[in-house]
């Protein structure tokens, strides 16, 4: 079993308009409502590959009901902690004429002390039956900044491999719990290091430091440039095929899912890297986050270059 945890789930609403104008009445031409949040995007990719997945996290109110009912209608197994306040909506407004994208993200619910205690129990229960526990996304209000550190320790105590994809303090305050896998992107790494620019040397230094701390797999994703990967201290550079991306949002989630699949299936390391980079590139050519075509992934796998960094 692989479990994904999304602490700040969302309904991802996409509004397509021929033209979006401020200070005017805007009518929506086409609308898409998806259960979202980064762990849910990971679940979608895992489900595409028929892996046994449980989707968990916090859900609340009518939006929470929408999220769970959508997952059920797609045959997803879920096991959420219900919260008192409403799960959030994230709005993406796409102006087709000017090719401009505007995002409006709600803050989401404030989690109570009781609800947080319920989540720790849920993670204890799910990690006892999961080989991999994937923690993705930002922390909702009400949780301590080291919330992931608590959950990672619980999951590790039960013998699960832990994956963490988050940013800011949620990331920096959780590294002492030594997750098995982390995947910052370049911006998240700049933020962590407090730098405006990153050299390759900076990236390799921090990867080596994290590896020496005991983090087994470190992926620094670099958008269309691919990724640097440190795997038990051995570093690789991976480059995706040259494709025409239509939506880079959620490519990182696809990369996490791809690595989890490779690790769950115990593929050789280079195959794990090729597969996950192919999955993330396949995600870049889909409009919906969490959507990948198995045929595109198969096509891309042999087009990914992986080189060890000496
Ligand atoms: N334009 C692109 N062409 C090919 N591959 C891409 C492109 N954009 C992203 N990818 C693939 O997706 C991976 C993850 O992308 P990125 O670094 O943008 O993740 P991210 O910022 O964490 O994304 P998100 O958090 O929205 O899921 C990259 O390492 C790369 O393999
Ligand atoms: Mg990301």
Distance 216 CA to ligand 1 centre (A): 21
Answer yes or no: are the C-beta atoms of 81 and 56 closer than 8 Å. yes
Q: Which atom belonging to ligand 1 lies closest to the Cα atom of 41?
A: 27
DSSP designation for 248: -
Regarding the beta carbon of 251 and ligand 1, being less than 6 Å apart is answered yes
Q: Which atom belonging to ligand 1 lies closest to the Cα atom of 227?
A: 29
Q: What is the pLDDT of residues 44-100, one digit of tens each?
A: 999 999 999 999 999 999 999 999 999 999 999 999 999 999 999 999 998 988 888
**What integer pLDDT is reported at residue 107 of this predicted model?**
94
Handedness of CA 262, 257, 216, 157 (dihedral sign): negative
Closest CA to 181 of 169, 173, 190, 171: 171
Ligand 1 mutation target, pool 250, 280, 285, 304, most atoms within 8 A of CB: 280
Length of the chain in residues, anyone? 310
Q: Which atom belonging to ligand 1 lies closest to the Cα atom of 254?
A: 27
* Structure-token match 């039960």, residue found: 158
Distance 308 CA to ligand 2 centre (A): 24
- Residue 9: in which H helix or E strand, if any? none
Regarding the beta carbon of 214 and ligand 1, being less than 6 Å apart is answered no
Ligand nearest to the CA of 166: 2
Regarding the beta carbon of 206 and ligand 1, being less than 6 Å apart is answered no
Q: How far apart are CA 171 and CA 174, in angstroms?
A: 5
**What integer pLDDT is reported at residue 289 of this predicted model?**
85
Tokens, residue 136: 């993705």
pLDDT tops 90 at residue 227: yes
Q: Which residues contact 34 (CB under 8 A, 6 or more apart)?
A: 11, 12, 13, 14, 70, 288, 289, 290
pLDDT tops 90 at residue 237: yes
Distance 244 CA to ligand 1 centre (A): 12
Angle made by CA atoms 232, 236, 238, in degrees to the nearest 5: 135
pLDDT tops 90 at residue 248: no
Percent over 90 (pLDDT), the chain: 95
Q: Which residues contact 297 (CB under 8 A, 6 or more apart)?
A: 275, 278, 279, 282
Distance 92 CA to ligand 2 centre (A): 17
Answer yes or no: are the C-beta atoms of 216 and 180 closer than 8 Å. yes
Q: How far apart are CA 212 and CA 207, in angstroms?
A: 9
* Average pLDDT estimate for 244-248: 88
Closest CA to 149 of 122, 179, 127: 179
Q: How far apart are CA 158 and CA 171, in angstroms?
A: 21
**What integer pLDDT is reported at residue 96 of this predicted model?**
83
Residue 159 CB-density burial (10 A; 0-12 exposed, 13-18 middle, 19+ buried): exposed
Could you tell me the pLDDT band of residue 218, with boundaries at 50, 70 and 90? Answer: very high
**What integer pLDDT is reported at residue 98 of this predicted model?**
86
**What integer pLDDT is reported at residue 55 of this predicted model?**
98
**What integer pLDDT is reported at residue 99 of this predicted model?**
82
SS3 5: strand
Neighbours of 242 (CB within 10 A): 8
Regarding the beta carbon of 138 and ligand 1, being less than 6 Å apart is answered no
Ligand nearest to the CA of 251: 1
Q: Which residues contact 232 (CB under 8 A, 6 or more apart)?
A: 211, 216, 217
Which residue has its alpha carbon closest to ligand 1 atom 1? 224
């Amino acid at each position: 079993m692989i479990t994904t945890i999304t602490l700040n789930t969302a309904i991802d609403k996409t509004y397509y308009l021929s033209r979006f104008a401020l200070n005017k009445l805007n009518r929506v031409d086409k609308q898409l409502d998806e259960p979202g949040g980064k762990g849910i995007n990971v679940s979608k990719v895992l489900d595409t590959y028929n892996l046994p997945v449980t989707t968990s996290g916090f859900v609340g109110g009518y939006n929470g009901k929408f999220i769970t009912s959508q997952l059920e209608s797609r045959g997803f197994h879920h096991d959420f902690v219900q919260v008192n306040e409403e799960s959030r909506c994230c709005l993406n407004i796409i102006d087709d004429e000017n090719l401009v994208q505007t995002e409006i993200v709600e803050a989401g619910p404030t989690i109570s002390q009781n609800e947080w205690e319920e989540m720790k129990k849920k993670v204890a229960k799910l990690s006892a039956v999961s080989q991999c526990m994937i923690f993705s996304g930002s922390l909702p209000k009400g949780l301590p900044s080291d919330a992931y550190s608590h959950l990672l320790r619980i999951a590790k105590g039960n013998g699960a491999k832990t994956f963490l994809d988050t940013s800011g303090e949620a990331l920096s305050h959780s590294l002492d719990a030594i997750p098995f896998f982390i995947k910052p992107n370049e911006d998240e790494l700049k933020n962590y290091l407090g730098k405006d620019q990153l050299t390759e040397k900076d990236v390799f230094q921090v990867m080596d430091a994290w590896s020496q701390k005991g983090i087994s797999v470190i992926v620094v994703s670099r958008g269309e440039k691919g990724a640097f990967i440190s795997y038990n201290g051995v570093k690789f550079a991976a480059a995706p095929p040259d494709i025409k991306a239509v939506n880079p949002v959620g490519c990182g989630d696809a990369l996490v899912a791809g690595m989890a699949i490779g690790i769950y299936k115990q593929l050789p390391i280079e195959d794990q890297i090729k597969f996950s980079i192919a999955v993330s590139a396949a995600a870049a050519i889909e409009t919906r986050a969490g959507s990948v075509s198995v045929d595109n992934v198969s096509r891309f796998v042999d087009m990914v270059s992986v080189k060890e960094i000496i």
